[in-house]
Amino acid sequence: MNKLPLIIKREYIAKVRNKSFVVMTFLSPFLMVGMILLIAYLTQLNDNDKKVIGVLNDSSYFSNEFVTSEATSYINFKDISLAAAKDSTLSLGFYGLIYLPDEPNLEQVAQRAFFYSKDAPSATILDKLENSITGRLRQERLREMGLSPKEYAEMDRRYNINIETFDGNQNIKGINEIKAIIGGAFGYLIMMFIIIYGGFVMRSVIEEKTSRIIEVIISSVKPFHLMMGKIIGTSLAGITQFAIWIVSGAMLLFIGLAIFDIDPASLTKGSGMTPGVANGANVDVDALTQNIQLYAQEIFDLPIFAMLFFFIVYFVLGYLIYSSIYAAIGAAVDNETDTQQFIFPVILPLMLAIYVGFFSVFSNPNGPIAVAFSLFPLTSPIVMLMRLPWGIGEGGVPVWQLITSILILIGTFIGIVWVAAKIYRVGILMYGKKPSYKELYKWLKYSS
């Protein structure tokens, strides 16, 4: 029994000293940060790319509609023919030309208006133009019904609904998206960890088989101890790697942001996370700060400690289940190319969990699909973690579901490790042929 730490230590050191592991550990943060910086830079670049649109306004309307804004500027042509305006637009390299003909009334102007461009115009630009014209038309129609421009402006003020939960907490828009992002990050982290480090466990088992050291070792230790030592040692190496990534990644990100002088807020803008803030131009400053406080409050109110605790529980159980399966696969085959047929069914539930999480859990965290998949042991580590940001108990995940899910997971863990250990102990001494599922089933019935 005291040999388990020895095995864990060897597996850990073997993994950590591995050249590709070292390279990946120290290169990945640079790659990640580089990518984030690139995205931020491209976003800024995109914002800076102003579109210039020529306006040939022969009508007596639309004098105020086409004003230069942050993303588009309008250049007015005066007293030239449409053909000349088109030529100038093209030769000046403008994005396009909006033509408003001279007609007796607004409706007719709108009907005969044209937008000319070199290529098919972007939907955003068209939207903008159409909105401008629609707005003017609405104003005109309402005016004909007897509404003054002042009354019209009053009417057009945007309305935001107030949100509150049944127990009276004030709620704000966008918090669900934040919860989804946090839950999604947890679930995604678990999936990545299982796939990467499960693969490492599998390769390490195959290595022992192909180097034929396996029989030497299991004449000293029990195969079960070897398997568990391998799984634990590899996961400790993984945790080391993640810790290095988080620390160095955070440091690099701050350094990078400081050097390139990028406002971190520009990264979150437009992600749909903070709609209230994004079109905050017409929201007064007081409301804005109040909103920010509300967000902070909401994030603060998330069951952070419970989430971290359950993250660890689900992470450990989920990882143990999957990596024992990976170890059994490694034991069953002779080389990595033979693993494909066995790996696909392993990755399938993980992918399913992620998709179910993104498409079903976020829109309805307590719906039947979310509940079912957070109880099913092969998907629960991911799906349950995606549900947890909505709280535990009232309004969130019912306590019985949480307990049932963990109990099922523990039961599955015992069952799967038992099955995997059996396949492992038979498989590691089998050479030559690629086993079928039928054969694996037969191995289960061998007495030890």
Partner 1 sequence: MSHILVAKDVTKQFGSHTALKNVSLEIPKNSIYGLLGPNGAGKTTLIRIINQITYPDQGSVYFDGELLKSEHIAQIGYLPEERGLYKSMKVGEQALYLAQLKGLSKDEAKKRLKYWFERLEIGDWWNKKIQELSKGMAQKIQFVVTVLHEPKLLIFDEPFSGFDPINANIIKEQILSLKEKGTSIIFSTHRMESVEELCEYIALIHKSEKILDGRLSDIKKAYKNNIFKIGLETDNQEELVREMQDKFDVLAQEYNSIEKQLNITVQLPSNQSSEILSFLGSRANVNGFVETIPSANDIFIKTIQNKNLDNE
Residues making contact with partner 1 (CB under 8 A): 3, 6-7, 10, 14, 18, 207-208, 211-213, 215-222, 429, 431, 442, 445-448
Q: Which is nearer to partner 1, 31 or 213 (CB)?
A: 213
Q: Which lies closer to partner 1 via its Cβ, residue 9 or residue 50?
A: 9
The first and second tokens of residue 38, run together, are 């690139």
Q: Which residue lies nearer to partner 1 by CB, 6 or 250?
A: 6
**CB 422 to partner 1: min, Å:** 12
Q: Toward partner 1, which CB reaches closer, 56 or 202?
A: 202
Nearer to partner 1, 361 or 428 (CB): 428
* Beta-strand relationship, 72-77 and 51-57: parallel
Q: Least CB distance from residue 207 to partner 1, whole Å?
A: 8
Least distance from partner 1 to the Cβ atom of residue 210, Å: 8
Q: Let me know: does 316 contact 412? Beta carbons within 8 Å.
A: no
CA 332 – CA 205 distance, rounded (Å): 10
| Contacts by 109-118, CB closer than 8 A, 24 or more apart | 109/59, 109/61, 109/62, 110/136, 110/137, 116/86, 116/89, 118/90
Q: How far is the CB of 428 from partner 1 (least distance, A)?
A: 10
* CB 219 to partner 1: min, Å: 4
Alpha-carbon distance of 435 to 376, in angstroms, equals 28
Task: Classify residue 428 as exposed, middle or buried by CB count within 10 Å of its CB (0-12, 13-18, 19+).
Answer: buried
Q: Choose between 311 and 443: whose C-beta lies nearer to partner 1.
A: 443
Helices (H), strands (E): how many in the chain? 18, 6
**CB of residue 225 vs partner 1: minimum separation in angstroms?**
10
Find the helix or strand (DSSP H, E) in which 112 lies. helix 106-112
End-to-end CA distance of the chain: 19
Full DSSP string of 424-441: HHHHTT--SSPPPHHHHH
Burial classification of residue 319, based on how many CB atoms lie within 10 Å of its CB (0-12 exposed, 13-18 middle, 19 or more buried): buried
- CB of 448 vs partner 1, minimal distance in Å: 6
Query: Residues 339, 213, 226, CA angle at the centre, nearest 5°?
Result: 75
Find the shortest distance in angstroms from Cβ 16 to partner 1: 13
Q: How far apart are CA 128 and CA 272, in angstroms?
A: 19
CB 249 to partner 1: min, Å: 29
According to DSSP, the residues that pair with 39 across neighbouring strands are none
Cβ distance to partner 1 smaller for residue 5 or 149? 5
- Closer CB to partner 1, 10 or 136, in the complex: 10
Please identify, using beta-carbon distances, which residue of 208 and 298 lies nearer to partner 1: 208
Q: How far is the CB of 27 from partner 1 (least distance, A)?
A: 20
DSSP H or E segment with residue 418:
helix 399-427
Q: Give the position of tokens 């007897």.
A: 146
As measured in angstroms, the least distance from the Cβ of 9 to partner 1 is 9
Task: Rank residues 20 and 340 by Cβ distance to partner 1 and give the closer one.
Answer: 20
Closest CB to partner 1 among residues 437, 446 = 446
Contact 327, 420 (CB under 8 A): yes
Residue (of 325, 321, 242) closest to 21 by Cα position: 242
Instruction: For residues 367 and 75, give the distance between their C-alpha atoms in angstroms, rounded to a whole number.
Output: 53
Identify the DSSP state of 358.
Answer: I
**Which among 400, 178, 388, 383 has a CA at the least distance from the CA of 303?**
388
Greatest extent of the chain over all pairs of C-alpha atoms, in Å: 99
